[in-house]
Each structure stands twice: as C-alpha cells, then as structure tokens.
Structure 1
Amino acid sequence: MNNVLFVTWDGGGNVPPALGIAAELKRRGNAVRFLGHPSQRQAIEAAGFTVEEFQGARPWSVLEARSGMTAPLAYAAVFTDRGIGDDLVASVERQLTDRVIIDGLLVGAMKGAGRAGIPYTILVHTLYGVMHTALTQGPLSLIAKGKGFNAARLYRDAERILAVTLEELDFGAHDGVDYTGPVLPEIVPAETVTETASADADAASVPMVLVSLSTTYIDGQCEALQRILDALSGLSLRAIVTTGPSIDPTALRAPANAEVHQYVPHDQLMPNASIVITHGVHATTMLALAHDLPLLVMPMNPVFDQPAIGRIIAEQNAGLTIEKTATVAEIRGAVERILQDPSPYRQAAARLGARIRSQDGATVAADLIETDVPVRQA
C-alpha cells in the first residue's frame, strides 16, 4: 500500500481527473489524501477523501469576478505561489508519504518539493503541449521566470508526467510523457438513463442540445450564454443549459424550448444529447466525445487550452469552433450545420469516442503511480 498525496487547486476542470485517479488508488487499498484550497473541501470530502487546507498559500476563489488583465495575473499568482510548496513540504513532514502528485500548473508546489528533495509526479489535466508551452513560453512563462521559476527544469525533474488525454490529439512529440487517456465517469448507455431534467415524451422526438460553459467566473460569459439561448430559440430542438455556480440561472432569458439549471450531471444528460455547446475545456470535451457527440466550441478564455482544443475539434471534423463574440445568427447557423443528417461531425466524434472508451485513464494512471519509477534522463 502507498500513501499518496494529491496537491491541487480550485480551478474547476482540473479536479475531476485527480479525484478519478484517487478513487482507483483507494479502491486498490492505497491511502489517499488531498492538499488544496479551503473552497475545495466540500467536493473532495464528498468524494470520500481527506483534505488538508493550504495554510501558507494566498487566498483564492475561482468564483471571484475578475476582468481584463486582473484575471490572468491572479491565476499566475496561484501557479507561482511558494506558500503552496511550503504547505506541501509541511504535509509530507507530518505524515508518511510515498507518492506526491502535483497539478501540472502548480510550479510553486514543484519548486517546494524539489527544494526539499521530495520526488513528485506531475498530473497534466489537459493537452500537455498546451500546458507545457504556457509555462515555458509567453506571458505566464515571463511571470514565472520573473519570480525565479524555471518551469522547464521543474518538469524535467519530475519522476513522471501523466497526461490524462488522447496522445493523438496532443500536437507535437512529447518524450517522457505517459499518456493515460482521459479520466472520465463511467459511460452509461442511453437506454439506461433517466434524465434529471424534464423528460416530456414529445421532446424526446427532437434533438437535445446540452449547453455548458465554464463553472468559473469569466468576464462576458453570461452574455455569451444569452446569445446561445437566443440562437436556439425557435429551432426544432430542446436545450438544457447548465450554468454552474458562477451564473444565476434566473439571470438568463430562456426560450420555450430551453431549460436552464445551475447543475445537472453531464454524464446523465449526454447519452440522450445530439450536440454539446461548450467553451472547450478538456474534461467536458473528452466526455462529449466519449459519448460520440459533436461539439460547438466557443472558447471563453483566450490564453490557455480552450482555443487549442476548439482548433483541434475543428481539424478533426468533430465539430465547429466560433468566437466568444459570435452573433446569434452565427451560433444558430453553426448548430444547424452540426445537426444536419447525416452528420459528418457525428461520425468524426464517434471515431474519437471509440478511442477514448478503449482506454481507462484512471486505471492506467493508477498503474503508473503504483509502479517503481525508472530513473529519468536529465
């Protein structure tokens, strides 16, 4: 049995893959605990794990309203927070720890572990090419370097790098990266699903569109959701919109063919959906593809993985990508193209879906974490 520590942060889509791998490790008899922001306690404990709250880290809430340059600067401050590294070291000193798994953006945690001689594994919760590039090139890299962090070195010094994505979607050659496949909930066949939202018999005869943008606060997102709802109004379909905690559902005007909820589990809705409209976050995109669903991607954040994932979906012909500022007419036209019958987008999504379902990401990741780590080349 191993004692495993996951070091995470309150960022939304970065957490479910860690919880999925942790659940598989726990099922095998390993002792697993988490270290993260206080706002994560409820979700992590609900998943059945012990969580230690950061003591030395900066206060942080992913739901706090930030606009302009304040948003990327605030995120960069989390990633380079040396207090997280200090808390990691203190946790390992308090409690026996055999494996330390660090979220791939937390260079402050990696720096603290390396300084204390604590071996660590990096968990990349999106495309490795995007994450590594963001940390080693561009604005985030400049901020990190200015604070004394060499992200490329911190990645090279890791025992292992686990990327929970499909290797074929990750652009470029990335030596030293173990691709586990996406870590997702169990895929349930459509005929076994009872929808949480209304299931009117007449509604079942028309396509269902699932709309879900970020669960975190992003400037302009409420307005984008309203344009999506306006675009779907009057079409022969029914829409289910999930807003997450950052947007009050009552702030949106829903047409007669749409329902707006703060939360409905996507794995309960996707088996009966025909298309997913999303901002291009990795977890939702992979889950949609695992259900053979084409996507309409509207990136909300221009500086990380969402534009890249949208571009890849379009290149793979598994959907379309539109701008955050797309008009009602542009959104409606894109939805109608994807819903055409027969749909080449659905066929391409099904091809990728088969690849995703062929590999259990949580099992592969747990196998690697439990395996003795070979010496990495410097």
Structure 2
Amino acid sequence: MNARTYLFALVDGGGTVPPELGAARRLVERGHHVTVLAEDSMASDVHATGATFIPWTTAPNRASRRPEDDPYRDWECTNPLELFGRLLEYQFAGPAPAYAHDTAHAIDTVKPDLAVCSFFAVGAMVAAQARGVPFDVPFPNTYLLPVEGMPPSGLGLTPAHGPLTRLRDRVVRSLTLRQWNKGVPALNAVRATYGLPPVEGFFDQANLARKHLVLTSAEFDFPARMPARVRYVGAVLDDPAWTSDAPWTPPPGDAPLVLVALSSTFQDQVGCLQRVIDALAELPVRGYVTTGPAVDPGALTAPDTVTVVEAAPHSRILPHADAVITHAGHGTVVRTLAAGVPIVALPHGRDQADNAVRVSVRGAGKTLSRKASARKIAAATQQVLGDSAYADAAARLGAIIRHDAEAGALVAELEEIEVTETSVTGG
C-alpha cells in the first residue's frame, strides 16, 4: 500500500469530533500522512490520533468547549429563522472566506492527495476545489442534505407515508432551502475570489464533493433515494480522547445502572441535567452522570445514589449500564445501541431530534421534551428499564451498528484515491 497524504479541515462540533478524528487516526495507523486543520479546542484530540495539528488562523478558532468560547451560541435562539441567520453568519457563509484562506494555505504547504472537509467549513471545500484537490465531506450523523424520501432534517420527523406527509416534506424542504440559499451570494463571492463559477444553491458546494461519507449504519438512518456520491461507511465508536484517562469505578450496589450524558458542548443543559438527577433520585437505580467539559459538575446537586463527574469513558461504562438518558447526539446514541442498551432521549437541538426519532421508531427507547419534568423522566426511565422489548430492540440494532463499524468501509473509501498532479495555483 502506498502512503497517501490527507488534509482534514475540521470544525469543533462537539460530538462530531470523535468520529471525524477517528477516521484520521485510522489513516495514521495505516501509515498515511495526515494533517488536521482544526480549532485549538481540538488540539489535544488531534495529537492523540498521531496526526499533525495546525490551527485555524483567520477562520473561527475557539479556545475551548466552554460556552464563553462558542462562536454562535445556538442555545440562545428563540425560533428557527433566528437559528438559520446565526448559523449562516457565524458558521457557514460568514466565515467562508477565512476557511478558504486557511485551507488554501494548508493545501499549498501539505500538498494533499485528498482533503476531508467538515460540512460546516464550506470555505474549505471552495479552496480544495480551486486548488484541484478532490475533497470528501464526512457526515458524522445521519444524512443531513435534502433527498427524496428522507424527512427534512432537524425536526424529528418520521418518513412520509401518504399524500399529507409527502406534502409536509415538500413544504418544509422548500422553506428550509429558501433560508439556506440566503447564503448563496456570500458563497459565490468566495468562489469568484478563487476563480470558480457561481452556484445556484447553497448545498451545491458540498455536492461537488467526491464522496459524502455518512458515519452511521444505513439501517439506523431512514431509507431514501441517495445520490451516487453518498456512502454509508458505519459509525466510529471511539470515545472522545478527553475521556481516555478519566477514572471510572462502578457505583456500589446491584441496582440498575443508568448512565446520563447530555452533550460535550454547551446547550444550556444544566436545568435538564438537574431534572434528570432529580428523576433518578426517585427510582431504585444507580445514576452515573457525565457532564462533559462544558458544564461544571459543581453546578448540580445529587443524592448519594447518583454520581456526577465531568468525564468518564463511556465504552467502559456501557457494558454495565441498563439504560442511558441522553440528549441524543449521534455519537452517544450509536455507542449506546452498539452496547445493546436502551435510551431515554431528551433532544436539545441540532440533529438530536432526528436521532431520537430513529431510536423510538425502532423501539429502542423513548423520547421526551428537554423540558420534561423530573416525574415524566422518572416514568420513562422506569418504563424503559421495566420492559425488555426496549433492550431487545437496542440489541438488534446494535448488532448491525457494530458489524458496520468493524467492516472497514470508512478507511477503504478514503484510501480509494486516483492520485493526479495537484495544482497549487489559484487565488
């Protein structure tokens, strides 16, 4: 096997980091040369893979995952229009020139055979295209772009099954694309700077990728008519690097163990975490809460039956767990299912409602509002623990997720490169 050179251009999306860097680590282990252009908040995670880390210099670069370092503070948005505007201004269209500038410089230095560009870093895709470098876009979740048969993303919708729900999907998709396409003028301005022709839709840039690598199992996602560029390559089940050295000892006793994990980034989840702890206090269980780096464990009050820590390796806890209460981030969901453990989902935003509905439709857990009372959380947890059908469904789906994760399709797709003379000219 010939060693190849890869440039990953990544944005810290919290749960997106372990699977994307898991891909980088696997390439390093295969003897390839991997450089990761990323935020300072990811530096230690990148170093743990063995890849070379270089920071964003003009593009957004958060110092940590604490809320004060978050560039767009999506938890403050009160309606979808405000969220769209903030995402375009602070994450997608607004910083696209800066992402393009830093990526172009990195390409000129590293001279990669392939760029792997975060879905958030649209400007990085522009730079790769302008420099003549093929690029892939990883989706460390379910497939997010609009395709026929897939319900629109972000709302936790089930697939359409009749005229009314098909109309629902067409209307929601049209309204959503109209908001995204407000970023087209800014995107085309960046493309013009690099000598590229304009695009019509905002997602056209991502659709110029060589491949879309969906880091989950097709059986977890909903079926749809996928473009030829889409590859389901299985989930990456790695723990975050920042949990690797964290201690963990099973809490004493033999009552059911319930793991609680509500996001590694700040989503204004302290109140929800406290209600979950209050719910567990009402049940004959052992609770184990990992707050992640964005929440201080000291902000929470817990009884003796509930342990609260900042970090612990979930891969060591899940074999002992009987249920998981989570915000339904994709990484936590697939690792939980791979262990055959049922879920109580409290989605907070982003892609979490979509993950939660895929769990509940398969019978592997229950979904509640993030504002659910402690009483309702306790009742749902008791139901999931008391009915073996939830664990059975989780085990069935988990067996598929484990198989796909171990199949090696992710590395095989990344290694499938037709190496050509790379152009390093351009704007």
- For 1:308, which of 336, 345, 354 is the aligned residue? 354
Give runs of aligned pairs for residues 278-357 of structure 1, distance below 5 A.
Answer: 278-301=326-349, 304-341=350-387, 343-357=388-402
Change (3 A) 1:37 1:247: same
Match of 1:99 in 2: 114
Match of 2:130 in 1: 115
Quote the offset at 1:360 in angstroms: 2.9
Quote the offset at 1:359 in angstroms: 2.0
| Separation of aligned partners in 1, 2:341 and 2:220 | 16
| Separation of aligned partners in 1, 2:10 and 2:146 | 15
Match of 1:63 in 2: 66
Change (3 A) 1:131 1:273: farther
Change (3 A) 1:234 1:197: farther
Change (3 A) 1:130 1:240: farther
| Separation of aligned partners in 1, 2:292 and 2:29 | 29
Query: Contact 2:259/2:325 (CA < 8 Å) preserved in 1?
Result: yes
Three-state SS of the structure 1 residue aligned to 2:289 is strand
Three-state SS of the structure 2 residue aligned to 1:84 is helix
| Separation of aligned partners in 1, 2:49 and 2:85 | 31
Tell me, yes or no, if structure 1 residue 170 matches structure 2 residue 185.
no
- For 2:255, which of 194, 199, 206 is the aligned residue? 206
Query: Contact 1:299/1:306 (CA < 8 Å) preserved in 2?
Result: yes
Q: Tell me the matched-pair count.
A: 360
Match of 2:234 in 1: 181
| Separation of aligned partners in 2, 1:131 and 1:266 | 32
Change (3 A) 1:40 1:289: same
Quote the offset at 1:146 in angstroms: 4.9
Query: Contact 1:254/1:260 (CA < 8 Å) preserved in 2?
Result: yes
% identical equivalent positions = 31
Quote the offset at 1:296 in angstroms: 0.5
- For 1:78, which of 66, 91, 94 is the aligned residue? 91
**More displaced stretch, 67-76 vs 278-287:** 67-76
**More displaced stretch, 160-169 vs 344-353:** 160-169
| Separation of aligned partners in 1, 2:318 and 2:288 | 11
Three-state SS of the structure 2 residue aligned to 1:324 is coil
| Separation of aligned partners in 1, 2:8 and 2:251 | 43
- For 1:232, which of 265, 271, 280 is the aligned residue? 280
Change (3 A) 1:200 1:293: closer
Aligned residue identity for 2:262: L
| Separation of aligned partners in 2, 1:121 and 1:279 | 28
Give runs of aligned pairs for residues 133-144 of structure 1, distance below 5 A.
Answer: 137-138=176-177, 141-144=180-183
Aligned residue identity for 2:108: E
Q: Structure 1 unaligned segments of length 5 or more: list them.
A: 187-194
Aligned residue identity for 2:410: A
Query: Contact 1:129/1:170 (CA < 8 Å) preserved in 2?
Result: no
- For 2:208, which of 157, 180, 197 is the aligned residue? 157
Change (3 A) 1:45 1:371: same
Match of 2:411 in 1: 366
Match of 1:189 in 2: none
Aligned residue identity for 1:251: A
Change (3 A) 1:158 1:2: same
Query: Contact 1:159/1:373 (CA < 8 Å) preserved in 2?
Result: no
Three-state SS of the structure 2 residue aligned to 1:289 is helix
Match of 1:259 in 2: 307
Tell me, yes or no, if structure 1 residue 147 matches structure 2 residue 186.
yes
| Separation of aligned partners in 2, 1:105 and 1:56 | 15
Quote the offset at 1:108 in angstroms: 2.1
**More displaced stretch, 230-239 vs 317-326:** 230-239
Quote the offset at 1:33 in angstroms: 1.2
Q: Tell me the alpha carbon deviations over residues 282-311 of structure 1, each in whole angstroms, 9 at most, x when there is no partner.
A: 01100000000110110111xx31011111
Once superposed, what is the RMSD of the aligned Cα atoms? 2.4
Query: Contact 1:212/1:241 (CA < 8 Å) preserved in 2?
Result: yes
Aligned residue identity for 1:320: K
Q: Structure 2 unaligned segments of length 5 or more: list them.
A: 155-172, 189-200, 240-245, 420-427
Query: Contact 1:24/1:363 (CA < 8 Å) preserved in 2?
Result: no
List, as ranges, runs of 4+ consecutive aligned residues in structure 1 with deviation greater than 6 Å: none
**More displaced stretch, 32-41 vs 359-368:** 359-368
Three-state SS of the structure 1 residue aligned to 2:304 is coil
- For 1:217, which of 258, 266, 276 is the aligned residue? 266
Match of 1:39 in 2: 41
What's the TM-score, normalizing by structure 2? 0.79
Aligned residue identity for 2:226: H
Query: Contact 2:28/2:51 (CA < 8 Å) preserved in 1?
Result: no
Quote the offset at 1:84 in angstroms: 1.1
Query: Contact 1:209/1:276 (CA < 8 Å) preserved in 2?
Result: yes
Change (3 A) 1:72 1:229: farther
Match of 1:191 in 2: none
| Separation of aligned partners in 1, 2:259 and 2:251 | 16
Query: Contact 2:251/2:286 (CA < 8 Å) preserved in 1?
Result: no
Change (3 A) 1:373 1:359: farther
Q: Tell me the alpha carbon deviations over residues 21-77 of structure 1, each in whole angstroms, 9 at most, x when there is no partner.
A: 112211211111100112211221133221111112134354225342377655442
| Separation of aligned partners in 2, 1:333 and 1:297 | 13
| Separation of aligned partners in 1, 2:379 and 2:143 | 32
Match of 1:268 in 2: 316
